Structure 1
Amino acid sequence: MSTAKPLSVFDAAQTARLLDFADMVDALAKAAADYAAGGIHAPERQVVPFPQGGVMLSMPATAQDIGIHKLVNVVPGNKALGLPTINGVVSVYNSRTGQALAVLDGPTVTARRTAAVSMLGIRTFLARAPRCVALMGSGTQSAGHAQALAALYPGLRTVIIGSSLANAQAFVKAHRSLDLMLAAADSVPADADVVITLTTSAVPVYAQPAQAGRLLIGVGAFKPELAEIAPDTLHHSQVYVDDPAGARHEAGDLIQANLDWSRVGSLATALSQGAPLEKPIVFKTVGCAAWDLAAARCALQKKEYLQLVN
């Protein structure tokens, strides 16, 4: 009779060590194909309100090898208490037996796989390696993206545009140890070939005309009432989304622009058929549990995980 191994629980730092950005970009490309083909099942996320204004988000996904359940709580009021806004876990299960394999830190998985999806977007929708990336936002998501850029494009010129120049300068100071040419600015440089919006703004923070050769990645607007990218920019760009089903309900930029969904492509299609790189491209991401499953696959394959559980 076999004895079940003790459940491995990884904190934020341990989870980060298990999630290598290069590995995740490759795993996400595979997961996108699997998800589009029905090999990964990831239903729409369930949102349950807390009495004091927070929400609990439940996001399961299953595949032939593993299943995951991400359960995270988002409580905006925590900021005033000096506590993290997002808390939660990603539990990982054996698909054949249903037995629990590991518990990963939820916010770390979310931040790193979200940044890795953007990095996959750069690899897919930009004709060459980026020369200058502008990050619009100076919060947690920007930190994750800066870490990903440093890992995959060391030495890259990276410009931070915050809600104020002071916030951008503070971000640069806090992350000066990263292998990037970090600089603060109050507007997007003319030579930026990638712009990534990472805010929770209800009004567009990027309204420049659509521009061939500049990839625009929208990350921060994850609810219908949020919008980071101006409608005119979207209407004059070829638009792709990471999750077509989720985007129809959550991509506030696209929803508010009344975009014709028949002309919105999917990441999976771009990966399999290519994209018109000579045109202005917007890649909008809303995230889904399939991407968390891809991250969990990476964690299970890392030698550090195998050493800890064997």
Structure 2
Amino acid sequence: MFDTVRLQTIVNSLNLIDCQDIENLKEFTYVNQKTGELCTKITGKTSKLPFIQYNSCSGRLEVELSIPKLLYGENVTLLNQDDIQTFFALLEDELYRIFGKRIEKETWQVKRLDVCWNFAVGDKVKDYLKQIALMKINRLIKVVYQDGESVVFHDKNNQKRIMFYDKERECIQRKCQSDLIERANGLLRLEIRLPLREITNYAKERRAVDILRKGYFIYATAKILPIEFTSSNEISYEWVTTHGINKAEMTIGFQTLKNEFGENGIKSLYSSSTLHNRKKLIKEMEQDVLVPELLFIDYSSL
């Protein structure tokens, strides 16, 4: 359900500088323009928390991490509601170990949250991405990366993001362990990050205990799902792997010539038997062309 989260809360008098468990400490000192107070913003990380930031003036503590990576060491596994309670307990224990203070889960506010889902589509991941790349979403800009391996829709400020990508490909690029790559095989990944405005519309105070729940997951994913695909006469990746690259190139070439010179124009380019075979191949392709199945989530199973 969830992956990366950024949480914030107010904690008075934290001393990050003397914490031996915090690595890569960086300090930034500035003058508060309203009060004239000299403030220090400190950032660092631990083995379990890749981002920690504390402001000495406001007392604001921020942490950012992947929930499934904290729990399972990877983010292919999808969370359930019981995992969220374990997450809060582990976060509280880790911060107590570092600072010697208990921070109750009810005090955390959500500043960022990535909702995620894995669609098990087998060998059709590339075909789904090809169709998704043709989609349009109102008020969002579409960007297709890495020759169609990921498709991102975002607003002009990049605060709202909807991303589809090949999870196995990402695991390979990140050089994950072979068993994790195997688990990611055939997974079409969906990730959604809503802007603070939409998070606030769901829960006015943005309390983590209210947002890290099934209800918010449905709220976020229902903005894009279900997705129904329309028929297309384009050759699919599955068709190419089934019929072979030679037939694919032959079909594409014939279609290109037909589009360029028309039905009558190509008659002089082929013998009657070859023309018949090419048309037969085109008919086979149109019959076999993949129309991806409906993308949806059965919320009753969560």
* TM-score greater than 0.5 by the shorter chain: no
Q: Which has the larger radius of gyration?
A: 2
Which gives a bigger RCO, structure 1 or 2 (Cα 8 Å, sep 6+)? 1
Structure 1 length normalisation: TM-score?
A: 0.23
Structure 2 length normalisation: TM-score?
A: 0.23
